Structure 1
């Protein structure tokens, strides 16, 4: 059995607090480490000039290099400042083998979904965050039973995407493959893969893994 946790972390305690002050409508999403040494962030709801200025003004960001610009969003390769403690944040959050499933930041808050081997590992990671002074809000905890115990509700396409993500190291930190590269491996578009992930996460947490009418939280 493993455990999936949804946590809410304030940017003021982690990273990009000033960036949100400069670009309040922006949404940042952790995508991958294209350079294999730095995280990459998608920026939505903000133009390039505003995003550049927001990153430049934020003391938690040492450098932000634009990699991809589309009609709707921007992909940056980001180097966080050592004094921001962002690397340690991920070390604490993913302590003892945790796997990051999703990380999005909007309205000054990070929303992260992490898979742990069990509740003890989640408790250890949560305690480390609190000891560092991070005001972590544990929103939901779901215990994942073995797939052999029940029939999965994932579509074949969603299961294929998740299995490929695990195989190619998409859930590792830093990630071994970007979403664009993984989409190419599957022969689908980036948008299609992103939609498969979102629907698969929703199915796993809300439909298959969460008992009807119940929400599980730490004791």
Structure 2
């Protein structure tokens, strides 16, 4: 039975450790990642934060990073492509040895958060054992078995993303013209507009990846 696991990794044991420590206010989101061998993985990373001062220099000097390229530079967001060449044992084990797919991955400050689709519980347990044997932090925050899940689990949605999407649809946020605003929805749900926007965006991404994309995942190519 396929399983979605929500995981946390210690930033100081993973790629970009020095960069995250130098820029704790910046969030790093992996929007696409390819892993072909045990020498490196190639992620596309969206970064967001109040300031990017010194970020490119930090990435250039980070020992886990090679072949850095800035692809897009907006006022409050950047997109980089790079190679991770060290401290990536956990992801390589999940993807190459256990046949897992990283659905979501973002890091900030002292930790990385991942949502990973494992082919079964045994693959998740094997990854946990691998990290324990190699003294690597591997914290399991939640597990969803896809079979028998209702609504959100089968599409890789978190509870917050599922509730945000359903509430937005019920209130006519996706109608043309819209029957409610982001501000009103956020107030109704008791969250900030930024938090609600993020849940909707990531929820849309999860739905597209699970329900609409029929080609191979970049991790499987």
TM-score, normalised to structure 1's length?
0.65
Corresponding residue for 1:168?
215
Residues 180-219 of structure 1: pairs in structure 2 closer than 5 A:
none
Pair 1:57 & 2:58 matched: no
Task: Provide the C-alpha distance between the structure 1 equivalents of 2:63 and 2:101, rounded to a whole number of angstroms.
Answer: 27
Q: Which has the larger radius of gyration?
A: 2
Pair 1:74 & 2:78 matched: yes
Task: Provide the C-alpha distance between the structure 1 equivalents of 2:26 and 2:52, rounded to a whole number of angstroms.
Answer: 11
TM-superposed deviation, 1:5: 0.6
Task: Provide the C-alpha distance between the structure 1 equivalents of 2:18 and 2:130, rounded to a whole number of angstroms.
Answer: 24
Rate the CA distance shift 1:20–1:74 in 2: closer, same or farther, 3 A.
same
Which shifted more, 99-108 or 54-63?
54-63
Task: Provide the C-alpha distance between the structure 2 equivalents of 1:61 and 1:120, rounded to a whole number of angstroms.
Answer: 31
Corresponding residue for 1:217?
none
In structure 2, list runs of 5 or more residues that go unmatched. 156-165, 170-202
Matched residue SS, 1:39: strand
TM-superposed deviation, 1:131: 2.1
Rate the CA distance shift 1:146–1:137 in 2: closer, same or farther, 3 A.
same
**1:59-111 Cα distance to aligned partner (Å, 9 max, x none):** 21123210111222111111223xx242x332212332211110000122110
Matched residue SS, 2:42: coil
Task: Provide the C-alpha distance between the structure 2 equivalents of 1:131 and 1:46, rounded to a whole number of angstroms.
Answer: 39
Task: Provide the C-alpha distance between the structure 2 equivalents of 1:161 and 1:136, rounded to a whole number of angstroms.
Answer: 25
Corresponding residue for 2:94?
93
TM-score, normalised to structure 2's length?
0.65
Corresponding residue for 2:129?
127
Pair 1:18 & 2:18 matched: yes
**1:8-59 Cα distance to aligned partner (Å, 9 max, x none):** 001111111110222111110111149x972111111154442202212322
Matched residue SS, 2:219: coil
Corresponding residue for 1:116?
118
Task: Provide the C-alpha distance between the structure 1 equivalents of 2:60 and 2:28, rounded to a whole number of angstroms.
Answer: 15
Corresponding residue for 1:102?
104
**1:130-168 Cα distance to aligned partner (Å, 9 max, x none):** 222211111111222157xx6x46779955552223x13
Corresponding residue for 1:204?
none
Corresponding residue for 2:138?
136
Matched residue SS, 2:105: strand
In structure 1, list runs of 5 or more residues that go unmatched. 177-219
CA contact (8 A) 1:93 1:129 kept: no
